[in-house]
Amino acid sequence: MFYHAKELQFNARVSAPDPRFARILLEQFGGQNGELKAAMQYFTQAFTLKQPFPDKYDLLMDIATEEFSHLEIVGATIQMLLKGVNGELKIASEQDEINTLLDGKTSKEGYIHEAMVNPHFYAVSGGGPALTDSNGIPWTAAYVNANGDPTVDLRSNMAAESRAKLTYEYLLKYTDDPYVRETLRFLMTREVAHYQMFEAALATIQPNFPPGVLQTDPKYSNTYFNMSGGPTVRGPWNEGVSTQLGEEWQYIENPQQVVVETEGLTKVEPTGTERTESSVKKADKALGKLRSEEIKSALPKGATQWSEY
Amino acid sequence: MFYHAKELQFNARVSAPDPRFARILLEQFGGQNGELKAAMQYFTQAFTLKQPFPDKYDLLMDIATEEFSHLEIVGATIQMLLKGVNGELKIASEQDEINTLLDGKTSKEGYIHEAMVNPHFYAVSGGGPALTDSNGIPWTAAYVNANGDPTVDLRSNMAAESRAKLTYEYLLKYTDDPYVRETLRFLMTREVAHYQMFEAALATIQPNFPPGVLQTDPKYSNTYFNMSGGPTVRGPWNEGVSTQLGEEWQYIENPQQVVVETEGLTKVEPTGTERTESSVKKADKALGKLRSEEIKSALPKGATQWSEY
Amino acid sequence: MFYHAKELQFNARVSAPDPRFARILLEQFGGQNGELKAAMQYFTQAFTLKQPFPDKYDLLMDIATEEFSHLEIVGATIQMLLKGVNGELKIASEQDEINTLLDGKTSKEGYIHEAMVNPHFYAVSGGGPALTDSNGIPWTAAYVNANGDPTVDLRSNMAAESRAKLTYEYLLKYTDDPYVRETLRFLMTREVAHYQMFEAALATIQPNFPPGVLQTDPKYSNTYFNMSGGPTVRGPWNEGVSTQLGEEWQYIENPQQVVVETEGLTKVEPTGTERTESSVKKADKALGKLRSEEIKSALPKGATQWSEY
Amino acid sequence: MFYHAKELQFNARVSAPDPRFARILLEQFGGQNGELKAAMQYFTQAFTLKQPFPDKYDLLMDIATEEFSHLEIVGATIQMLLKGVNGELKIASEQDEINTLLDGKTSKEGYIHEAMVNPHFYAVSGGGPALTDSNGIPWTAAYVNANGDPTVDLRSNMAAESRAKLTYEYLLKYTDDPYVRETLRFLMTREVAHYQMFEAALATIQPNFPPGVLQTDPKYSNTYFNMSGGPTVRGPWNEGVSTQLGEEWQYIENPQQVVVETEGLTKVEPTGTERTESSVKKADKALGKLRSEEIKSALPKGATQWSEY
Amino acid sequence: MFYHAKELQFNARVSAPDPRFARILLEQFGGQNGELKAAMQYFTQAFTLKQPFPDKYDLLMDIATEEFSHLEIVGATIQMLLKGVNGELKIASEQDEINTLLDGKTSKEGYIHEAMVNPHFYAVSGGGPALTDSNGIPWTAAYVNANGDPTVDLRSNMAAESRAKLTYEYLLKYTDDPYVRETLRFLMTREVAHYQMFEAALATIQPNFPPGVLQTDPKYSNTYFNMSGGPTVRGPWNEGVSTQLGEEWQYIENPQQVVVETEGLTKVEPTGTERTESSVKKADKALGKLRSEEIKSALPKGATQWSEY
Amino acid sequence: MFYHAKELQFNARVSAPDPRFARILLEQFGGQNGELKAAMQYFTQAFTLKQPFPDKYDLLMDIATEEFSHLEIVGATIQMLLKGVNGELKIASEQDEINTLLDGKTSKEGYIHEAMVNPHFYAVSGGGPALTDSNGIPWTAAYVNANGDPTVDLRSNMAAESRAKLTYEYLLKYTDDPYVRETLRFLMTREVAHYQMFEAALATIQPNFPPGVLQTDPKYSNTYFNMSGGPTVRGPWNEGVSTQLGEEWQYIENPQQVVVETEGLTKVEPTGTERTESSVKKADKALGKLRSEEIKSALPKGATQWSEY
């Protein structure tokens, strides 16, 4: 159950209207990496993870709720950046009665020029925020990643926080308003804080790699295919050992030739790894059993009730 | 600022898993007339209406927050209807290790058959709710109507509540689970309660018709064009007087002929109305002035701050 | 069956090209509240409502057809506002052969600057209207509401007309062209006329509240949850009686506490209403029977034929 | 201006309800290659092509209007295929009052099973057509191609008609209902008729190849790049002369090598063609002048009016 | 299997940054008629057409791969047109440290003004291409046409190439950069080359009209309905014989009257054609048999393997 | 520049047709976490990262090209799983000529039942893959994350690979076909290999945390807001030190109270961290300078050329 307090989590202020920055700031209201995306992603993930991870559920709901509160901060800032537009739109009676505009300009031409910045503000939302990105694309749940496994979902969240942080970093280039910058910096900082919370939560689940349950096929797990020609580039991603499984990278200089020679890789044998088909099967079985029983033992038999009162 | 309590607003329970109903119920989670749409619509409208209507702002935030809480109820119910799926998906190690399924079935064939109901539950969300409608269409902000005028927004909301109510009514046909029906009835009832709240709020704004500020052109405001032939149908929508403006309907039996005769309606004169071009201009000017001053007087000069602390 | 006459319903004219206003006007061509949305909404609703409401069917088809005719007017106006662009695009042979442009400017720079207004006009549609909104978002049927019940559909339509009216009101701010303003005023007026037609049609269906068939649960139908804190706001939406059912509003000052105390509202009893569980069941049964029989008796047995010839 | 007659263009009939076929038939109502797409494509193209091609404008509006009429036929057929659903949904009062269903089945289980075919019919549209394809994807204007040049638009239309024809052909596999098959065959036939109309219209514009105005670069116009290895395949698309320009195909066996040798093709010289850089320039200039003057001479100076009355 | 070489197929170069043209050029990166659409359309079609048309499969994969290579050229050009933006975004530390901008401007105002051209470049993609069109609409597979029949797919491709060619033609109006123009001309030329390849391939399949397998109904195949009034326009599309079937056009001056008289066209008899119901049935049967056997004989019995090694 | 070899990277085979699994497998063809998403994400990122990270560019193009090759494997598998459908669709002539179906069933009813699995296969794609997910949603570039910074993009990629891996894990539950399982396991394994490549590449960039350039505000970087009530949950995400910055978590038990007391957090002072406003400014300046010069020094002055030949 949600509650709302009239006070914003952060004291958002605006020195002067700025429809141009309002447009760019939409990225964080209804954009791909914005606050609504974050809020809905964690909120949606939380349902499945509640059992058997009630502690992670609490974490996700804490952050989801904070993101809703950030969405509100962003919306309020956009509204303040558009101050005057809504009032101006009410004087619709006579074509010559254009009042002094947002920034002191008085000409109708100036007004229309501003409308071009984002017609939606002037012809649809009536001078308020819209659930779109900076190009006017309506927010879509296609942005949300929720896949029912904490070793995956928490990684999705770390990436999502990274993108949100970078977006705030980019946004800071486009405003000099000290109040607005203060707000953006607060919001940017919180993304980095959340990143570390998700990382800490991931570490409490062991094993957490590979993500999910199944182990990988040792025949193909440490092969690097050189699919893009030109000067050969070697680095820790295709020489030495892999970061998590510690297998030796096998560099395939000429993939097409190898594919033909191995009948579409079906004749390949594991190399540079200690894992075997049989060790993998065993691990799959053990982890699958563990994970499914964690969940099943946490769920009630018979009828289900969500909350305790 | 939002808060979250672990207790659902309503004590949602489920007697037994039912992936088919879970699919249909998605309509109210991520569908066109679902709870997210309602929550985001009122939340988005609230920013612009806060000034000069702080009382309407409070109303909108009360209901928006309740709708978020309903979204949570719907998501929790879907999660409970899918009980078992997430756990089953963890036993991914061996193809023959299919456990007893949700409803006691044990065959793999039964499991795959169920996956066809909505593959997203089984291959993407991992047995949890997804922000889609019952056909899997991701929620989009294209569903949201927020236009910066309470005489319009409140009407959008009354219509939205009507659709949401009807959807719950339809959904009740597809489940016998008494717990689920209890929850659906609670949610359905709230839509009707909200409808009446919005209606009451609209009535406190006078005048509220026509929606917005501008009056209509008396030449065209009471004309009925018979654009679809066949037997002539007359009713209170094309005879007698109009519901709000009280003008006499002018029935145009043969629109094409009239259009040609009046040079594309430019030669028409007002009939059946007392309003004139001049009375309209006067009203436009007066109401525009009133409405814009309400807003402007409510907004601070200089820097703007959203909340008081 | 549709027919088309070459004459527009209204004598749309344009004084001079204006690509900027053409862009904004797209809202009414391919936008969320535009003419295509209106036309397709009423057209789609009409199929289901034809039986048992042939008179409403006639009304819906009259207005749907008029909206198609308005869509044509808007498209023609956009085309005229873009006069010259299509011809200019044909002189593609030499980069230096830039003709005198739309508004007398001759520099290539001016031309490119204009292209920035909406690149789609210059690089895709070739100087004609596109089925998008003012931000270039393609029209989507997600805008359309058609739910198979006249007490809902007619309310959706009244809200849709309100938004369309407001959009024209906003648009009038962005053009001084007297011809274009004349056209916009005609179109705006028609939305208000349609609103009243739908309202009159709704009144002929009794009862029409709550929308649909089912009555609401008297335990929850008159409760107001104070979900958003801050200064308590009281108004006719949370004190006195509700607008349609005439029940006394029950104001819940502290929802979280009440929810916990009532075990998720399951222990609540009806207050401030004369309706009871039993009266509701009776009403549900009676109205359900009435409504389903209206429809069934209107449908033929056996094979179905749509039209009479 | 559009008109509507109550009689369908074709006498659509249905022998018995069939929700499964109703779902598939949605492809032609709100699908990618359906009737709405066709209608909107020709309607949108018509605005730009009206000048200087009033005869093509007439053709496009004739066919667009016929496609709207076909859309109506498809919608009416879907409605008849869903006969009974809307009526059933009104009996919402009691969970046990399930009436005899569409096809004589009476069990609730059967009803729910049918709802799985397309939940939208049962939970959203209330037993009527929806503007979606057979998977429930809302119609989008992204399907529409209108590019402001008849040599392109008419080709887009021939392709569109081909796809629509094939879709009807596929649909005929899924119904035995002789009435429905009759309707589908009529609609399928009309697509082929329209194809030939567009083809004839294209032939009246000369030259019409390459589409648009600009000639192509003789250095690259007859080269065939063998980008996909394996057995070399030769055919009239890479040997002999090209279909329209009559240039000799130059087959590049090993594109990567040639690209490197020619510094990214910049050192290539025209081969197998009589066209030269200079002949191309001349043609570009002449055709550009012709095409732009056709348009400009057809447009009025000063204010523009769309229709004559 | 795909490979990549570091060398672009064409030596794309850019004289100087130009974010405005970068925006317009997005049409060919992530737009409706751009290179990704082409690549994905041919790639997707190829799967179904591989059997029984391995030669067409080779053609489609050759062109699909070339289109991917063109996508890369377009992306590289956009990247070069945005030179400097990515670097500038890294100096995020201090609001006053604005470096010399792309085009030598140094003011922050100039920078923000440029960001308005397409905020996505400045706030999301970080100065690189995005998979959107020039209005920021994300690329969608709704643009792709792949229908499992070469007589349809090849026609779709000819139309697609026509639109892509025209788009390049339009784009050439917006840049003076000789390097960029050179690249655009190369790309434009290739579309016309591809068009002729598809046309040649279509001609090798006989019969290829009507597209697909089924013949049309002779009762409706040569009728022209005059659905749009005004001055009667006659042309080769409604008089004389049809382009492919050679049937005499039957012009219906007054469709509504004919529809009523023929009971919704059900009483019509074939006129102006030699085809009969019986000749059609025979042709349908023969061609259906031929086409299905072509496919079936090409497919292996039992297990299927895609490639030979 | 891309090339294509006819041999698949992996020897994909199918034992028997299975349209149901074909539908689910669409997730990896045109789904949110599928191969096209991966390919396009890395391909799009590569443009911006090429300078100053040519080694990362090589890595991204290697993997992007492999993902295109995987997309081909998935498409080929879907095509083989649908074996027979395309051939069957060609026998469209007579309603009673239904051939033996995919799985030996011969009844038309069985055929229609199968069409319900995914009508798109039967009525649109003609028995081939479609660029949609398992619910028929067209692929959209809204799935792609490319933000112009390797510390962000590489993290997005690690998360993307995690989701793709999990999806293959889920898919393995729905097929017993040993050939198909072999292919899926290969593809699943490669996602984990790619994950480790991206992780290794990220480690070569130092510092890489926080993602991007700007440091965070020490006042808010280690605060944990307890936004979701109920039993207090403590864990390494809100006690001890943060994972990357090593700051001590400050747990805010009652956020609303603190927000009010600190005037919307503006009166907060840094606690539990050694970072200061001044150390942050210095770090921002230094890193911003470093990062921007890396890029600027790698870009040529004057005209830009993408490839060397």
pLDDT in tens, D208-225: 999 999 999 999 999 999
In this prediction, residue A91 carries a pLDDT of 85
Residue D259 has pLDDT above 80, yes or no: yes
F7 touches chain D (CB under 8 A): yes
* List of chain E residues whose C-beta atoms are within 8 Å of the C-beta of residue F61: 4, 6
Residues 6+ away with beta carbon under 8 Å from D110: D101
Q: Is the pLDDT assigned to residue F96 strictly greater than 50?
A: no
8 Å CB contact between D147 and C124: yes
F45-78: pLDDT as tens digits: 999 999 999 999 999 999 999 999 999 999 999 9
Tell me which chain F residues have a C-beta less than 8 angstroms from the C-beta of E96: none
D257 contact E CB<8A = no
E strands, E8-140, are 13-14
Q: What is the mean pLDDT of residues C77-84?
A: 96
How close A156 comes to chain F (CA, Å)?
A: 5
- Kindly report the average pLDDT of chain F as a whole number: 94
D141 interfaces chain B, CB cutoff of 8 Å: no
Coil vs helix vs strand at C67: helix
Question: Are D63 and D174 spatial neighbours (Cβ–Cβ below 8 Å)?
Answer: no
pLDDT, residue C111, reads 79
Q: Average model confidence (pLDDT) for chain B? A: 94
Mean pLDDT in residue range F145-162: 98
Statement: residue E199 has pLDDT above 80: yes
| Window from B213-222, D115-124, E84-93 with minimum mean pLDDT | E84-93
User: Amino acid identity, residue C118?
Assistant: N
Cβ-Cβ contacts under 8 Å for A214 (sequence gap 6 or more): A284, A288, B92, B93, F169, F172, F188
Best CA proximity match to A150, nearest among A205, A207, A214 = A205
- D7 touches B at CB < 8 Å: yes
More confident position, B104 or A59? A59
> What residue of B is the nearest CA neighbor of C1?
B228
How would residue C158 be classed by pLDDT, with cut points 50, 70 and 90? very high
Average pLDDT, chain E: 94
CA nearest to E157, candidates E100, E199, E206, E203: E199
- pLDDT greater than 60 at residue E101: no
Residue D147 has pLDDT above 80, yes or no: yes
Q: Which residues of A touch E3 (CB under 8 A)?
A: 227-229, 255-256
Nearest chain E Cα distance for residue A214, angstroms = 26
Predicted confidence band at F164 (pLDDT cuts at 50, 70, 90)? very high
Secondary structure (3-state) at F212: coil
DSSP letters spanning D235-284: -TTTSSB-TTT-PBPEEES-HHHHHHHTTTTTT----S-S--HHHHHHHH
- CB distance F228 to A65 below 8 Å: yes
The per-residue pLDDT for F92 is: 61
The band of C96, judged by pLDDT with boundaries at 50, 70 and 90, is: very low
- pLDDT bracket for residue D59 (50, 70, 90): very high
User: Quick one: tokens of F184?
Assistant: 């899926």
Higher pLDDT: E97 or B122? It is: B122
Q: Which of D47, D137, D166 to probe the E interface (max E CBs under 10 A)?
A: D166
Size of interface C-E (CB pairs under 8 A): 89
From chain A, the residues in CB contact with B287 under 8 A are: 93
**Mean pLDDT score, D5-14:** 98
**Does residue B98 have a pLDDT over 80?**
no
pLDDT > 90: percent of chain D: 89
Q: For residue B211, what is the nearest residue in chain A, using CA coordinates?
A: A90
Under the banding of pLDDT at 50, 70 and 90, the label for residue B110 is confident
Q: Which residue has the tokens 């297990």?
A: E303
d(CA A225, CA E295): 35
For residue F51, with 0-12 CB atoms within 10 Å meaning exposed, 13-18 middle and 19 or more buried, which class applies?
Answer: buried
Letter string b/e over residues C86-117, b meaning 16 or more CB atoms within 10 A of that residue's CB: bbbbbbbbeeeebeebbeeeeebeebbebbbb
Q: Is the peptide bond before F19 cis (omega within 30 degrees of 0)?
A: no
Using an 8 Å Cβ cutoff, are A249 and A222 in contact? yes
pLDDT in tens, B170-202: 999 999 999 999 999 999 999 999 999 999 999
Cβ–Cβ gap B176/D2 under 8 Å: no
- Those of residues 142-181 in B touching chain A at CB distance below 8 A are 142, 144, 146-149, 179
Per-residue pLDDT at D109: 79
What is the rounded CA–CA span in Å between residue D160 and residue B25? 37
Given CB atoms, is C93 within the 8 Å cutoff of chain E?
no
Q: Which residues pair with E228 in a beta bridge?
A: C4
- Give D276→chain E minimum CA distance, Å: 14
* Cβ neighbours around D274 below 10 Å, total: 10
- Split at pLDDT 50, 70, 90, the class of D145 is very high
Please report, as a single letter, which amino acid is at residue B251.
Y
Name which residue leads in pLDDT, E271 or C117: E271
Q: Is E13 on the interface with F (CB under 8 A)?
A: yes
pLDDT band at B96 (very low <50, low <70, confident <90, very high): very low
Judge whether residue D100 has pLDDT over 80.
no
How far the first Cα of chain D sits from its last, in Å, is: 12
| Backbone torsions φ then ψ of D245, nearest 5 degrees | -90, -10
State the DSSP H helix or E strand holding residue D115, giving kind and residue range, or none if neither.
helix D108-117
What pLDDT does residue D69 have? 98
Distance in angstroms (rounded) separating the CA atoms of residues F209 and D277: 55
B141 touches D: beta carbon within 8 Å: no
What local confidence, expressed as pLDDT, does residue E104 receive?
A: 56
- Section D189-201 average pLDDT: 98
Which residues, other chains included, contact F252 with Cβ-Cβ below 8 Å and sequence gap of 6+?
F223, F224, F225, F226, F258
Q: State whether A9 and B1 contact (CB < 8 Å).
A: yes
**Residue F197 pLDDT:** 98
How open is the CA angle B240-B246-B252, to the nearest 5 degrees?
A: 45
How far is D117 from chain C, CA to nearest CA, in Å? 18
Residue found under tokens 């994972």? F243
**CB pairs B-D closer than 8 Å:** 89
d(CA B81, CA B205): 44
Q: What is the predicted pLDDT for the residue at A106? A: 59
The confidence score (pLDDT) of residue B230 equals: 86
pLDDT of res. E122? 93
Task: Tell me how far apart the alpha carbons of residues B127 and B134 are, in angstroms, rounded to a whole number.
Answer: 15
Q: Measured between alpha carbons, how far is F268 from F258 in angstroms, rounded to an integer?
A: 9
Residues of chain A with pLDDT under 70: 92-106
C108 at the E interface (CB within 8 A)? yes
**Using CA of residue E154, residue E160, residue E166, residue E167, what is the dihedral sign?**
negative
Give the mean model confidence (pLDDT) for residues B116-140: 95
pLDDT tens across D154-165, in order? 999 999 999 999
